Amino acid sequence: MTAPVVAVWLGNAAPVRSIRWLDGVLKAAAKFPGATAVAAGEQDWLDLAADRAARLGLASVGVPTDLQLDYLGWAQVMAAVARQLGATTVLVDEASRPERFAEVAAIAELTDAAQLTRVIALAPDAAIIHASRAAGTTLQTVRVHGPAVIGVRIAGPPIEEYPTPAPSASMRRIELATLGLDPVVLGHRALPPRITPPARRTVERVADHIALHIAPRTARKAGKPGKRAKDAKDAKDTKDAPDPEDED
């Protein structure tokens, strides 16, 4: 078995808050000789991605496009680039943008590779990759053999300010058509344009937002079903009951 050929998917837009995670995944990729950083999207982002990759000695590929795609759309782009590069292993920066983690599975599906999410440490060992993965309250130690897509959450060093990147000459541009992708077809995975909502400023709105994160708890009450279970049963009974209007 030969050493993996690695590509790093940096995504379609700049990190939401910090480039620390971007630097982290690039640094992890730099452990693999010949790794290539890949980004897609608009020019400013491609320049930033190329700049950060170049600082760590990585080659970079950019796919210029103004499409706004869902997880499967971007996965198609990255899978096509991986095939073009002959990459067997794809690292994905999971932490810079919350929507990116879903692309790990989608790229793996499209490249028929194994998948591993939430990896916090990586070490190449000839044809094998050793990885540590956060899984709930446990840390899994995993050995990866063969083609795989790995979602990475490794932080780079703290960074407050970074220079505005100049347009990169070193980044290799690949058009969608060169990848065999038709923008019109790809557009079927387009997301509707969305305005970034302003930060919530009232207790009620913040509570609404974080209510989706309340850890579910189990309350064991002896003897009878809990309220939630009864609610569910009532809902089911309502569905199963004949519609009064049908009785006529």
Partner 1 sequence: MAAVLVHIDLDDERPHPSSLQALAAGRTIASSWGATLYAALIAQAPARSPGPWSGAAMQRMPGNRKTIEAIRITLVRGGADKIVVALIDGPVVPLWSALGTAWQGVLDHLRPRLVLFGADAPSAIELGPRTGARIGARLVLRARPMQPSNASGTAGTADLELRDRDGSYIRMTDGGAAVCLIGAAPGPGAGAGPGPRSRPRIDVPDVPGAHGDDDIDVMMLELPGGGDPRIELAGTAPAELAHLTGTMIAIGDAAAGDPEIVQATARLAKALGAHVVGSAAAAATGVVGTGAIVERGAALTPELCIAIGAPSIDVAGSASLIRIGTAGGKGVDGALTGSVAENLVELAHALEAR
User: Which residues within the stretch 165-194 sit at the binding site for partner 1 (CB under 8 A)?
Assistant: 194
- Asked if 2 and 17 count as a contact pair (C-beta separation under 8 A), the reply is no
Task: Examine residue 54 and tell whether it contacts partner 1 (CB under 8 A).
Answer: no
43-55 vs 20-29: helix crossing angle, rounded to 10: 50
Sequence-distant (6+) residues with CB within 8 A of 30 are 56, 57, 58
**What single-letter DSSP state applies at residue 136?**
T
The one-letter amino acid code at 145 reads H
CB of 111 or CB of 168, closer to partner 1: 111
Residue 50: CB minimum distance to partner 1, A: 22
CB of 91 or CB of 116, closer to partner 1: 116
Residue 127: CB minimum distance to partner 1, A: 11
Pick from 13, 53, 54, 116: which binds partner 1 (CB under 8 A)? Answer: 116
Sequence-distant (6+) residues with CB within 8 A of 114 are 108, 144, 146, 147, 148, 149
Residue 199: CB minimum distance to partner 1, A: 4
Sequence-distant (6+) residues with CB within 8 A of 126 are 1, 3
Task: Examine residue 224 and tell whether it contacts partner 1 (CB under 8 A).
Answer: yes
Residue 161: CB minimum distance to partner 1, A: 13
Residue 28: CB minimum distance to partner 1, A: 14
Residue 173 tokens, joined = 């541009």
Pick from 166, 217, 244, 247: which binds partner 1 (CB under 8 A)? Answer: 217
Task: Examine residue 245 and tell whether it contacts partner 1 (CB under 8 A).
Answer: no
Q: Indicate if the alpha-carbon torsion angle 77, 81, 86, 90 is positive or negative.
A: negative
- Binders of partner 1 among residues 7 to 36 (CB under 8 A) are 15-18, 20-21
Burial of 99 (0-12, 13-18, 19+ CB in 10 A): middle
- Binders of partner 1 among residues 55 to 94 (CB under 8 A) are 70-72, 75, 94
Residue 199 tokens, joined = 């930060």
CB of 56 or CB of 120, closer to partner 1: 120
Q: Which stretch binds partner 1 (CB under 8 A): 49-57, 58-66, 176-184, 211-219?
A: 211-219
